[in-house]
Structure 1
Amino acid sequence: MMIPTWFSIAAFLVAAMAGVMACTLLVIRPGSSLHRSIALLLGTIALAHLANAAGLFVESHALGWRVAAMVAELVEPAALLYVGLGFLNPVQRSSNRSALWRARIVGCLGLLLTGFVVIGQIFEWKVLEDAGTAIALTVLGRMPYVFIVIGMVLALAQLELVLRASQEPVRHKLKFMVIGLGGLAGYQIYQASQMLLLPVWQENQVLIGSIVTAMALCLTAYGLGRTHLRDVFVNAYVSQQALFGSVTFIVIGLYLLAVGVIGEWLRRTNQPLGLGLSVVVVFGALVGLVVLAFSKTVRADVRRFLTRNFYRSKHDYRAQWLQVTEAFEQAASKEAIMDRLLDLLIKTFPTTSMSIWSCRESDRQFYRIRSMTSEKESFPLELSHPVIARLLKEDEPVVITDSSDPLMASGTALCFPIRAQGQLTAFIALGRPLHGETYGTDDCDLLRGISHHVGALLSHAKLAEDRQASAQLEALHRFSVFCLHDLKNLAARLSLVAQNAERHGRDPAFQESAMRTVTDTAAKMTSLMSKLSLASVKPVLTEAPELVDIPALIDGIIAPMRGEERVRLQITGGIAQPVLAVKDQVHQVLLNVILNAKQAIGLEGDLSIRIGESGGSVVVTVEDTGCGIPSSILESLFRPSQSSRPGGLGIGLYQCKQIVEAHGGTIEIRSKQGQGTQVRIELPLSEGLRSKSQTLQLSAFSLQPSAFSPQPSAFSFRRGQAPPQTAEPVPLEQR
């Protein structure tokens, strides 16, 4: 009696452990489908072990408790299949109908077999040869266990494919959780196969199941702790062909063959308890082997051993290059390229930390966009940072030696540049190698090859974006022909109102009619312009540069704002040498930036403009206390059709950047959501450019007539030309 008591206590403890884990998941993440599925699985495990423990305590009701445990075990295959689906990306999960229906079918079959179990068609009392009694299977009793074997094999194969399809650092987070859940499935397959071979329920199965389940639950809990109870999705499609071609079926087939041999030996030797304990040892060894197989530290040790003893160089460059080309297949966007790069680096270089930093075009600072472990927002690095300064000048790795450097504080030991179109676009930050080693020539050569390949891919991605932007411009250019025709007619209406106002301006009836016409025309023009998401802009050589007084230009722009009481306007500096530029274009840039700041602060706020000189350039800084710009928009703010304002056309800042760069200047934007935005514009001074003024021709951005338009648009005339006539003056009331 003492041994069953200890068996039942072990089962009670495991049931409590699984129940606490299930409740924790439901309380902390009730809205997560993945964690709900895991909680359901853990709940069924808790009920099964609780029923087994109660059956050992109350032997008179042992058959009823065994039935209750069997009901919980029949739910586990469907629950584990839903857990596997929970790891998939939500979009792929909804489109993967075959996997969803497979889980539903397994669930329905489990409920059907539950009915057979409840009505008493599965278990019965059997008298043994030594006059004892035991719970045995009936003629139909093997059906539920066949179902458990098939259902758990499907679930285990699905978990295997999820783990194989995952990439670093996602695999680093979920491997222990998947291995733990796979261990639960593996033991259920073992237990079901034992019942099919020896259809008698034995008490020692409770102890063996409790030990194995506790080991698997510990792995699962550790894996959940690694994810911080957050959803971890894998971009994988679990197709039926991939599922049935899984290694799981090969392993399970070999396992069932081995179980048949063990079962036959069991009949002959009659040593159930000793065999059961050996099963625990074998299970632990298998789980440990799987964990080691997916450990990058162990893989690094094996690679280091082979390199020292069998290879001339540290890396097999032919195999590595094949791995590089395969890794970047179908990676067309910058985001996809960076994802594949991080996964490739983690597999290639065993290190304590690893990250990728990219230059943001809007503020010309470097930000960490990918990391092996850390999920915290990174600190930005200025172009003046010592490491960035060296990477800008040299195409060589930079070893971090300064202990006060924030990169070294984050664990970085080596930085390697990535250049696209000759410009430093990003860099790789590697931590210290494992086992106290250093990065050698072989490592740097391999990194150089990878970075050059990534730089070429980023250049192609940038060219693809430019081609797409050009296609958008061309399409909208053609569409603008029709809009310009309508705008021409609306402008003619306003022109008639202005001309008739000279004669009828004092007439109240005319005033009322004119206001209605102006209001209606303005509404139609606004509606018409809102249809254009992008203006067609092409450079046309129109004007020669001249000396432009920037402070005077800004003073004229802000003159209408001075009367607003709630807008606190502040101008500092105000003295600067003139710049050699096209005045209308510079006016367009400053007007756009200042109006953007005014619209950002709304009815009340601070708007400051600083004018000064720095490094041979006039610097204009416009700063507001408005709502700020989200970081996701800052990444692509200077691209066509990208706007931070609802209803914006997405052309203003794109146009500003083109104009400023055509003048040899720069424009930077720094913003924090909820705090405000700062725009910094640099334009070179007139000194040194006077000799080039005869040849310098800058682009003036204006709408161009389409090839399908027979005549120039009313808005395409150049300076010095008279605008086309719209219509003869007609009294407003006669129209």
Structure 2
Amino acid sequence: MGALTSLSAILGGLALAGFAGVTLWLLMRPRARMATLMPGFGWLVAAAAAMTLWCAAAYVFGPGSAEALVGRALRNIAILGWLGATFWNERAPMSRPLRLIQRMLVTFCVVALLFGGAVWLRQGGLSAEWAGPGLELVAMIAASGGLLLIDSGVRHGSAGLRMPVLAVAGGFAMLWAYELNIQLIAALTGAPATTLILLLPAVALLALPTFVVAAMDVGRERMRLSRTAATRTLLLIGGALYLVLIGLVGAVARMVGGNYAELAQGLSLVVALGAGGMLLASGRARAWLSVMISKHFFEHRYDYRAEWMRFTATLARAGDDAGQGADKGEGDLYRRVAKALAELTGSPGALLMLPDPQGSYRVADRWHWEAGVEADAILSLRSAFMLQDTGHIVDLDAVRRGATTVAGGHDLAIPDWLVADTRAWVVVPVLHFQRMIAVVVLHRPPVTRALDWEDLDVLRIAGRQAASYLAESHSQQALSEAKRFDEFNRRFAFIMHDIKNLASQLALLARNAERHADNPAFRADMVETLKLSAGRLSDLLARLSPRERGRAAEAGRVAIEPLLDAVAAQMRPRRTLSIGCDAGLAAWADSGSVRQILEHLATNAIDASSDDGSVQLIAAREAGRVRIDVLDQGCGMTREFIRDELFKPFVSTKEAGFGLGAYEALQIAQAMGGTIDVASEPGKGSRFTLWLPAAGEGGAAGRGNDWMKVAS
């Protein structure tokens, strides 16, 4: 009994501190607002203060002392006043019998309070032997009448009672019911129920949270307790109740005597370990607890803010466990969509089905769905049309019970394999602007439940959000393919332009061969030109390979004079070029790219010149850079044409021109860190100047070989 007395003192101290804190908190709440949210708020503050005084008397003198009974009378007066002010008002007045009962109970409590106070002031204390029975009788009458008033108030009081009001009333009812049982046991046995009296502070502690609920402004702002916090709070309360129960069982066992105390301890340990192990090991038990908490403690099944944040985070986070180790990409997105929808409803897995070329839907990916779905399992075109037209979320359990149609008379047309698989629970169409992008089949959750309006709304909205992600992914995939085709077409156009130039050279070579075929020197030049053209054609065809796309040309020291000689040799069948170059001149560039530019500029110069017109290639070093001029005496160009059209793609003054040569030459030059300048006047010829970084001290050589990217 000594241990139980110590425990009672500890619990009494906690109850005293708790109610004192709640009283101060209630006094600091905005009274005007609280009065509108909870009628009788002033009486609630008075009840909290009276509970504090009662706990103080019980802590100082003991829970069963006469002083505690006087404090209980004061507490009952405050509680009765709160009940009258809260459950009944002008629109729902208290009936005459109930009003009479309330007044009688208040009168008894006031008499007990005055009597006890007067005796205590006169004698400096109360004798439990002669004052106790009378005070206990008043307490039993107040408890009985108070329970009657609470029952009547809850059933017939004013409508629209808020949750805090009912919570506080429930706390008072629990306290009065416990005290009434103490009085009845004492009346039946003829001895006080000492163990139950010592546990009164524990019951007071259980009533304390109801005041906390009332102190919160929960009339219009619901409790912002998360599902996780609610679960943990309930587990803590369950633990506290378990301790109280163990205390009661132990006390009863000690009263009975024998080995029952040890037996009770063993059974309690087994029950505690069994319950804890079940919660830890059983997903079904945890799911059931979550469902019960959402159903009975929250207005809505879902914490929409938390669920939506988790949903969007799952969709946006690539490469998480939804991928299950698979390659990143669109397949990973399919698994994330299935996972996100499944987690909303607590489903342990999901299937995602995508349309095939015939319009049916096949399983494309799965998340935590064990094998058993055949690869050829499809959702028929008929089912797909129904889901797309109606947007109906199909409860497969309803289909198994015989449902065949949806609102509007549409036939469900769910395939047999899906109905036969009892793991399948819900079919969710993933719609994007009335077009069904995918279908998600949710696995049956550990605790099966019927779908309600919240489930349907959440799945419908979440399905549309997931559809936007899938549509964006499909658009990105189509755009990527279009870019690859565009890149191929771009390279093909540049290559065809170069092939056209080679074809022109070969045609000229063929015409010259008719006149100079017997000349050994011409034949030697012709063979050399054919070798160069064949090599050039092979290089151009290699550039069409996808492996060559975006190839980085190797920059290095390029001797300019040999390069000019090679270009002149390439152009010799058409025209003899005049060449001038500073001795030892070198640029930091890609040799093949520079030659490609010069061949194009030289070809254009020859085309623009008359048959007897000269074309010159002159290279020099100027201002730390290499300058290569291509000069002709052709027709020239206007300043407006140079500014507005020369370097634009698909703009050409030639009848058979592609309009890509100048554009390609400028792009290559800029990629090497250079540029092309043009000076021309109509009728006076043109000068194209290619500027390149010079090799050597002060040039680009110090940058290394990887600074320049030249797209082939």
TM-score, normalised to structure 2, is 0.31
Higher alpha-carbon Rg: 2
